[in-house]
Chain A
Amino acid sequence: MQQILLKELRYLLVIPLFLLSIAGAWAQGITVQGKVTDENGTALPGVTVLLKGGSTAAPTDANGAYSITVPNGNGTLVFSYIGFQSQEVPINNLSTIDVQMGADAEALEEVVVVGYGTQRRQDVTGAISSIKADDIVTQGANTVEKSLQGRVAGVQVESAGGNPGSGVRILVRGTGSLNNNNPLYIVDGVQVDNINNLAPTDIASMDILKDASAAAIYGSRAANGVVLITTKSGRKGENVIDFNAYYGIQNITKKLDLLNASEWAQVSNAAYNAAGLEPLDIAQNPQSLGKGTDWQDEIYRTAPMQNYNLAASGGGDAYTYSLSGGYLSQDGIVKNTGYDRWNLRLKSDFTKGRVRIGESVILSKETFDPLTGGLGGQGGNPVGSAIKMIPVFDVYNPDAIGGYGGAYGPVVDIANPVAQLNLRDVENNVNKAIINAFAEVSILDGLKYKFNVGYTNTSEYYYEYTRPYQIGALFTNLDADLYESRNQTNYFLQEHTLSYDKMFGKHNIQALVGYTYQNTQYRILEGRKSGMPDGISVIDAGTSNTASGSRAWENALISYLGRLIYSYDDRYVLTAIVRRDGSSRFGNNYQYGNFPSLAFAWNASSEEFFEPLESVFSMLKIRASYGELGNQEIEDYGFVPSISPNLNYVIGTEQTLWPGAIQTAFATPNIKWESSKTLDFGADLGFFNNKLFLTADYFIRRNTDILLQVPIPLSTGASSNNPYINAGQITNRGFEAALSYNNTVNDFTYGITGTFSSVNNEVDNLGTGSQQMFGGQPTHHGASATVTQAGYPVGAFYLIKTNGIFNSQEEINAHSYEGQLIQPNAKPGDIRFVDYNNDGQIDQNDRQFLGSPTPKFTYGFGGSLEWKGFDMNLFFQGTYGNKIYNGLRQDMESMNLNTNYSTATLNAWTPENHTDFPRAVINDPNLNSQTSDRFLENGSYLRFKTLQFGYTLPKSLLDAAKINSCRVYLSFDNLFTITNYKGYNPDLGRTGSVLDRGVDFGHAAYPLARTSMVGVQLSF
């Protein structure tokens, strides 16, 4: 395509050149006029016409006409318009120059943001994936990150809890590190913690820098990839107002099958009988109990969401602007949860002579009404409690303080989930300002100096008010409690860059040197009291339990960077980057790290010998890169042993507080930067004018000196907070590909896209060599489910294996070792465990590797179709080959604790009915309930993620109303999921340690919602 455009351009340019050469020189101060049209002859308004090297410029009017006065007839006019290829036309003393501009899809698509500047796609040497505005907006996702899921090869997006407004966990190319795997987010040049607060409609593009070469310019912070977000800018001469709105409803996609009251009583009685114990009082007369309370029904609801955005953008000769505001309101599918967000954003730039000044200001105000953490007890949050709460108990009790019923008797202390949702008000208000301003000076031709200042401020206000209550017999709080906290994070960035961009014949050089300084400061102030009178919720009104506190931290990063991009004849491109970073997180002699990278690309399709192939094979680029990046994402001050305060005791006959303080954790003074080395080979292939496009990469990423809190023995006395060490090496090998096909046949325009990523993750060595790190606690009590050690993937499942059920005493007797029973406490109906180490007993030494939480591959695919104003989009996404440890099922199927159980327990083994589900026995002498592969499941899934139908109203209808365009749409998210996984959602949403990644802990998850919505997109 590029080639064809260039040819056309040449053709266009040749004629005026020829004519002009005949004409004589005119007097100074001539006027040139003409008309600018697109390839179809349609007038283009708002095209900038500029005298090259001068300050004279003029826009085209509504008819595409322009008129510009230039000093003489020897100059060159530059025609530029976003979305079209800019053209340079020598005046050659002509008075009329009409120009037809070639629509340049690449002008939009193919400028890639690479950090501290942009690059033409064809010059890109690293692995960079881009997502454009359209892809983000059509989905109606409420946060930007969610629109990434399945759409970018090599980027794995997992939900992070599902709470309304919560974000996602993004893994770029697998799990490289063991401490922090979050990519670096840069919004309009400023580093931010997450991008949940951005309105998706404000995004112009997201560029994901995946390999070390691409990301190297961000050095230390880029080891997990970089997500560069560019918000929308105005376009010169095009003043537009856009309005977007949608309204939707959300429903829970799946409920778990649990016992009703009478079924529960039957199972419970069976479990007590089997142990020879008296049944529970509340379980007597199962028949009379009926269905009881369905706790899941009590907490879930159909929840509405709505969103509005209004944006104005445009620009003139010397400026562009984009202003937008939005409001999102989303109720959660769990009652009393929700999220709302206000956004305001301004981005503009202004050019005067050699100086260009611009800024981007993004303000957001978010209010989270999250799922409360629970009122204590072993049910955890309301979602977990709704599953485990016995259906015999009542929701309400008008006589109890607070008005709610609850558990009583010898049952596990689980708090009524409805009471939890209603008795505690939790609200988190987050105000964020992301501000970036720059001044750029053109010093010489091609040489620019840019001064950039960034500032972000995050102010949070957290409020948690608990009413007095008495919930059943196990939960009592007679005084109202109030906790409030305010914290502030200030981030300051200063950057100086000098860039040089110049063409010398066929040689093109882009060079950059820079210095950056960053500083982050955090401080929190908090207070609490109890005993406020009813209806008053300020701390001053409290009478008891006074507590207050404040904490702070600060860190700094100083960096020097340099980049050189050299390309020859658009055929060969070489990129060399070096960055030197100094971090306050390391001790004096270890603060600095150097991070170099080198990359090469060959645009084979630009070679002459390629021309015969062009009708089929329109593009071929081959890339190779190698680079080193750093990781310093550990706690501040981690290298200094500190004295912990408030390890208090009581002393004296008066029993007063005796304040204590001592060192409680070790520190490693000589920890240093973790480094990540990546070798990447990639190819970009285009066929049939790039209608079919394939990008594929293979990489090897090796993280060494991994910064890790390797668990130290309990006997050190400091095992609750392990010191960081540079502990080991992890290698990720991966292949990723993205394929797209777009075509138009008559009135039909259609497209198909697909992504595929496969990462093989392996720990090469860790700590002392045989070091094992255990993680993934699956339940309140259960043993860990994962191990991380050399030779296996990070967080691999490491479990005792089961081998069916003992159907008779003979089978139990047969399961012996040197004449001794391996499972002496077993009875028929219990589980047979595998004595893996063959020592005659079942214990933790019998654990074995049984799978990985990392999918063998992840994929996404979708299609789009347009026909005469109608459009349709659909998108699927999934994983294959990963395992999930279902901790929730461990609790729900074990029948060893007095909680509700899953309906599967109705099929438990009995002497009469031999099934593959172990017998009910409340004291569980055989430990059927212990952490084992009984609860390990296949985590593969395929999710129909998005389906959207749209209709764009015909222009004829809209002209009267002075509307440019209007599209209405109907959209559905999470229509269905095909999976064998038995929990709520195979996309777990477990945040925190990466070692827990594949473990579904019953308390954590917020179930997935199915969303249906209707929306309108208007442009004036």
Chain B
Amino acid sequence: MKRSLYIFLLSCSMVACTDELDQVNPNVLTEETFWKTENDVLSALAATYKTLRVQENGYWAVRGVELTNGRGDDFFIRNDVKDLYQLSTFTNNPTTGTPSNLYATAYMGIFRANQVIENTPNADIPDEAKANFIAEAKFLRALNYFHLAINFGDVPLITSVPQVREDYFVKQLPQAEIWALVESDLQDAKAVLPVSYSAEWVGRATQGAAIGYLGKAYVYQEKWAEAENEFKLLAQPDGRPQAPYNYDLLENYEQNFMKEYDNNKESLFEIQNQNVGGSQPWAGENANESQGVTTAQEFAPTEVGGWFEAFPTNKMFNEFQEEKTVDGDFDPRMYASIVWDYPEATFYKKPYSEFEEVFGFKSRIRKYQNWRDENEGIWISEINEKALRYADILLMYAEALTMQGRTTEAYPLVNRIRNRANLADLPTGYSQEQMMAEIRHQRMVEFFREGLRFYDLKRWGLLEEEIANSDKEGREFFNLARHEYFPIPQNELNTNPEIEQNPNW
């Protein structure tokens, strides 16, 4: 028995090191080993940018584009993906998935940005680089809060990484406080970010982007004077480029939406899309994920293998024809943005007349489509989404001036936009209201499918009127108080005892 016991104990000791219980995850780094080097922080920043176009639900990924455009009087989404159809016909509710996912993704970006802001100071890198990284993260955080404010109104404000479980549950704050953070983050970013990057880092947030978004944030709050102050850093009073940023309009409007002209001089900030990395467009965030987007495939016609999810409304089609060019042709922005049955119209290398008319819409989306190819190929589009264009800066600058009663000063800015579109200079003597009407028209035509129309109408207090006078499906269900903002998603209400539903939901 003694011998057996001895064997017993011996065998135990052979294997029984409790070290065996201390397993280390072989697949990933941990918090303890990360946040040390410049590379660590850079990869954390990549992960933060990434949320802006993370598959499906990023603000500039396919669902984001569908959501930001879907509610406009210029846009129709067909009854295929129920969530999108619901939100575009104003029959959505708090469980509708797309807004909920957009909300979650914005906070994902905020969580990542907060990590960079908190952990970078402890990394082993030069102070100047640290400041830059933090400024970049603040820019991204501001951008996500910007999106939350315009889509959801009052939301939780989270500016640090939760330490304990109690920190997960945060109350919502009035929209004004969200804007206050957007402003202060962008001001911080503006103070530190570089004017430009070396070729290998092009695509990251610049000082110009921070200024542009800060101005835009003021516009959304109707702080016209503050907005003007920012815009005049970016553009001369006549709309010409301003040093050191030197942004300018491309001569050819259409080039903004072609992949050959990614990261051009008109772009203050854009979302980088390219078929690199993995090969799967829907892989989620992992190594197999392609870094392109599927939006173009979703909008392409069925004849070329697309899913024809969205169309310009006939109201939009007509708006494009409001004014002909000095040569009597259609506005070049009409040709670049949509395709319709005009003589010699081609689309995906076919005469447009070969495409069947569906839903009674006279035109289809051309902007951001790879329509010079035969089809949308492997469904992965590489065209960068332009998040903030100089054209937007010029028109917001003009609006800020007009709204301060300085209509005359708005002329050269609006005329720059008009001239590029081969339209004549505006006649002189416009009243404030006339100038605003012109700006509204220009914005509608200039930014079709760029996700601005619904939010512009909301700023102008014209949502109800413009949706009612459109041919938008579901306009009879539009209720301003309710549909101005999305409801707080049901999944947030379900999990966060601190939060309350938006009052009109």
Contact = CB atoms under 8 A, between A and B. Distances in A.
Nearest to B45: A660
Interface string A70-109: 0000000000000000000000000000000000000000
Most A CB contacts (10 A, CB to CB) among B23, B97, B170, B477 go to: B23
15 contacts: A278-B359, A278-B360, A642-B31, A653-B199, A657-B291, A658-B42, A659-B43, A660-B45, A661-B40, A713-B170, A714-B107, A719-B104, A896-B79, A922-B79, A927-B91
B279 A582 contact: no
Interface in B197-232: 199-204
Contacts of B115: 662-663
Contacts of B305: 470, 473, 476
A40 interface: no
A916 interface: no
A484 to B, nearest CB: 14
Interface in A621-640: 636-637, 640
Interface string B239-265: 000000000000000000000001100
A23 interface: no
B50 interface: yes
Contact of A643 (B23, B30, B169): B30
B107 A650 contact: no
A482 B52 CA distance: 31
B7 A412 contact: no
Contacts of B22: 584, 588
Interface stretch (A548-556, A874-882, A990-998): A548-556
Interface string A524-549: 00001010000000000000111101
A636 B26 CA distance: 11
B133 to A, nearest CB: 13
A360 B307 CA distance: 57
Interface stretch (B180-188, B269-277, B452-460): B269-277
Contacts of B490: 783, 844
B30 A641 contact: yes
Majority DSSP secondary structure for residues of A touching B: loop
A725 interface: yes
B103 interface: yes
B272 A655 contact: yes
B152 to A, nearest CB: 10
B351 interface: no
Most A CB contacts (10 A, CB to CB) among B47, B116, B358 go to: B47
A657 B276 contact: yes
Given A474-B307, A927-B91, A717 B382 contact: no
Contact of A443 (B1, B31, B274): B1
A780 B490 CA distance: 17
B43 A652 contact: no
A774 interface: yes
B25 A637 contact: yes
Interface stretch (A424-432, A444-452, A962-970, A1002-1010): A444-452
Given A517-B15, A640-B25, A655-B276, A927 B93 contact: yes
A56 interface: no
B427 to A, nearest CB: 42
A517 B20 CA distance: 10
B382 A655 contact: yes
A897 B83 CA distance: 11
A515 interface: yes
B477 A517 contact: no
A719 B30 contact: no
A715 interface: yes
Nearest to A716: B168
Nearest to B48: A662
**A-B pairs with lowest CB-CB distance, top 5:** A717-B111, A660-B46, A545-B279, A660-B47, A647-B47
Interface of A: 277-278, 378, 408-413, 441, 443-444, 447, 449, 451, 470, 473-474, 476, 479, 494, 496, 498, 515, 517, 519, 528, 530, 544-547, 549, 551-556, 558, 582-584, 588, 591, 636-637, 640-664, 666, 668, 711-720, 725, 768, 770, 772, 774, 780-781, 783-784, 825, 843-844, 896-898, 922-925, 927, 930-931
A707 B29 CA distance: 24
A545 B95 CA distance: 36
A641 B35 CA distance: 13
Contacts of B29: 642-643, 645, 661
B20 A556 contact: yes
B1 to A, nearest CB: 5
B110 interface: yes
Most B CB contacts (10 A, CB to CB) among A408, A444, A719, A770 go to: A719
A647 B46 contact: yes
Given A651-B46, A925-B477, A636 B491 contact: no
A716 B161 CA distance: 9
Given A649-B47, A652-B200, A664-B111, 16 more contacts: A479-B378, A517-B15, A584-B21, A591-B21, A642-B29, A646-B287, A650-B291, A655-B274, A660-B45, A663-B31, A664-B285, A720-B108, A825-B477, A843-B94, A927-B93, A930-B93
Interface of B: 1, 4-5, 7-8, 11-12, 15-16, 18, 20-31, 33-34, 40, 42-50, 78-83, 85, 89, 91, 93-95, 97, 100, 103-104, 107-112, 115-116, 155-156, 158, 162, 165, 168-170, 199-204, 262-263, 272-274, 276-280, 285-289, 291, 302-303, 305, 307-308, 358-360, 378, 382, 473-474, 476-477, 489-497, 499, 505
A662 B116 CA distance: 9
Nearest to A725: B165
Contacts of B91: 825, 923-925, 927
A411 B263 CA distance: 37
B44 A662 contact: yes
Contact of B46 (A449, A549, A648): A648
B302 A645 contact: no
A642 B285 contact: no
A715 B170 contact: yes
Contact of B285 (A277, A646, A784): A646
B83 A636 contact: no
A374 to B, nearest CB: 13
B367 to A, nearest CB: 20
A443 B50 contact: no
A517 B199 CA distance: 56
Contacts of B79: 410, 896-898, 922-923
A545 B202 CA distance: 26
A781 B25 contact: no
A336 B155 CA distance: 51
Contact of A410 (B34, B277, B358): B358
A718 B287 contact: no
A547 B104 CA distance: 28
B47 A712 contact: no
Nearest to B158: A715
Contacts of B23: 554-556, 584, 636-637
A642 B30 contact: yes
B477 to A, nearest CB: 6
B44 A660 contact: yes
B109 A449 contact: no
Nearest to B375: A476
A45 B420 CA distance: 107
A556 B46 contact: no
Most B CB contacts (10 A, CB to CB) among A549, A556, A637, A650 go to: A650
A714 B279 contact: no
B479 to A, nearest CB: 8
Contacts of A470: 305
A553 B26 contact: yes
A648 B21 contact: no
B497 A641 contact: no
B21 A556 contact: yes
B280 A547 contact: yes
A602 B15 CA distance: 41
A545 B288 CA distance: 9
A412 B280 CA distance: 22
B50 A780 contact: no
B277 A657 contact: yes
